[in-house]
Amino acid sequence: MNPQELVDYTKSLDCIHCGLCLRTCPTYQLTGAESSSPRGRIYLMRAVAEGELAATAPEYREELDFCLACRHCESVCPAGVRFGELIESARSGVEKVQRRGFLARTARRIGFGTVLRSRAWLSLTATSMRLAQRTGAARLLGKFGRPLVEMSPVPPKSERAPLPATTPAVGTRRGEVAMLEGCAMRELFGRVNRATVEVLTGIGFETKVPQGHVCCGALHAHNGDLEGARELARTTIEHFETTGAAPVVVNSAGCGAHMKAYAHLLKDDAAWRERAKAFAARVQDFSEFVAAEMPPDFSGKLGDELGILAYDDPCHLCHGQQIRAQPRTVLERCGATRVELPDSEACCGSAGIYSMLRPDDSKAVFAKKAAAFRNCGAQALVTANPGCHMQWEAGLAREGVKARVLHVAEVLAAALRKARAR
Ligand code: SF4
Ligand code: SF4
């Protein structure tokens, strides 16, 4: 195989080696090693493309796996290097030439090929996880059960019910939106999905949820399965085309960033290129949509009802979508008491399934975030991404910090409820 097909060589040439990204990179902060930095990884990718390093080298895959794909390096890069796209193509390349161990291969095949493509399998997986947590069986699984032991309880089936196909606007109808129900969101954060619908309909938008849709493919793309990601992108576009041209509201930062990039993902597919572009233009993060559409006369009086809040920027919202002000605007409009979390754009270590694949690295990255939260005077943490949500819940519990973790939609839903009750 031509080594230049294993990485995005052209994009890797954008790097001017300035090193400005090094201090923001969580893995470089952990090791101080150039090879664990964005610049170092780009060197490795180029070396593969230029035939100086074998793509089969174990140290090459190790550095690609070690990366959190947080894209913090993109935000500070003066040359506009698109590291997110580079790491996705490099991981896809390495999967073509390196064979993982039997267990990893099987887990990937089942996870990406079966579970994340079927609602029935997702539901069964969530039920099994809940059972393993409640019976203590997760503890018997040793290191394989550790993520289950440490994560928050998987909700009961009653909280994992599907959202209605259509929920009418409350009061005067101002328009309609389509909403991504999500794979993990429905199984683990049904309450956030319901709060999202409550807000959208509460501010006058009929909310449509395409039935039968399962997964947008973000986890596939981030983990080297670009073909799987393309298949799921086509399915996602088809499902949402049934909702006309309405904005597609997404309450999961990782999914939103990925869906906005469908045009890039399907750029070489002549049959889907234009459909992908049209679809991507409809996608909006929850805060992005709500900050623009909240009724101008709404003024929440939440105060510290949910505790003093601190907002942590999910990487795929701030670095992936350049959305920083909107969630803060929404929280301001709620009238919530809030403090800034220092270094809130630093990765929390969740990074999709990274926290399960590399729990020790993930915890080491989280340690700084826990210290920042402890020192900032907040009593509750607000996020906008399910992976970060789980990471914060598990991490704060592990550190002995008693604090709630909430999605922006949950805060706004509470503020709207309070305003209605006045
Ligand atoms: S994506 Fe994050 S972890 Fe990976 S190289 Fe960039 S800053 Fe480092
Ligand atoms: S900041 Fe950008 S150009 Fe500079 S070393 Fe990092 S990736 Fe390369």
Q: How many Å lie between the centroid of ligand 1 and the Cα of residue 212? A: 34
Q: Which of 11, 27, 64, 357 to mutate to test the pocket of ligand 1 (most atoms within 8 A of CB)?
A: 27
> Is the predicted pLDDT of residue 143 greater than 90, yes or no?
no
Lowest average pLDDT, out of 113-117, 176-180, 193-197, 321-325, goes to 113-117
Atom 8 (ligand 2) nearest CA: 15
Atom 6 (ligand 2) nearest CA: 21
Pocket-forming residues, ligand 1, beta carbon under 6 Å: 24-27, 38, 41, 67-73, 83
3-97 and 159-292, same CATH topology: no
Q: Nearest CA to 71 among 201, 246, 222?
A: 222
> Is the predicted pLDDT of residue 4 greater than 90, yes or no?
no
CATH 3.40.50 holds for 159-292: yes
Q: What is the pLDDT of residue 314?
A: 98
| 249-261 average pLDDT score | 98
> Is the predicted pLDDT of residue 136 greater than 80, yes or no?
yes
The 10s digit of each residue's pLDDT in 42-63 is: 999 999 999 999 999 999 999 9
Under the banding of pLDDT at 50, 70 and 90, the label for residue 197 is very high
| 66-94 average pLDDT score | 97
The domain ranges of the chain are 3-97, 102-155, 159-292, 296-421
> Is the predicted pLDDT of residue 422 greater than 80, yes or no?
no
- Main-chain phi, psi angles of 242, to 5 degrees: -70, -10
Contact indicator for 221, 254 with CB cutoff of 8 Å? no
Q: How many Å lie between the centroid of ligand 1 and the Cα of residue 75? A: 11
Under the banding of pLDDT at 50, 70 and 90, the label for residue 144 is confident
Q: What is the pLDDT of residue 2?
A: 86
Q: What is the pLDDT of residue 415?
A: 97
Q: How far is CA 337 from CA 107, 114, 301, 370, 374, in A?
A: 43, 44, 10, 20, 17
Q: What is the pLDDT of residue 288?
A: 98
Rounded-to-integer distance, Cα 90 and Cα 44, Å: 10
Q: Is the CB of 19 under 6 A from ligand 2?
A: yes
User: Which CATH architecture is the domain 3-97 placed in?
Assistant: Orthogonal Bundle (1.10)
Q: What is the pLDDT of residue 322?
A: 98
Q: Which of 11, 15, 42 to mutate to test the pocket of ligand 2 (most atoms within 8 A of CB)?
A: 15
| 358-374 average pLDDT score | 96
> Is the predicted pLDDT of residue 269 greater than 90, yes or no?
yes
- CA angle 74/79/82 to nearest 5° reads 40
- The ligand placed nearest to the CA atom of residue 19 is 2
User: Which CATH architecture is the domain 296-421 placed in?
Assistant: 3-Layer(aba) Sandwich (3.40)
Rounded-to-integer distance, Cα 378 and Cα 303, Å: 13
The 10s digit of each residue's pLDDT in 375-386 is: 999 999 999 999
Rg (CA), the chain: 21
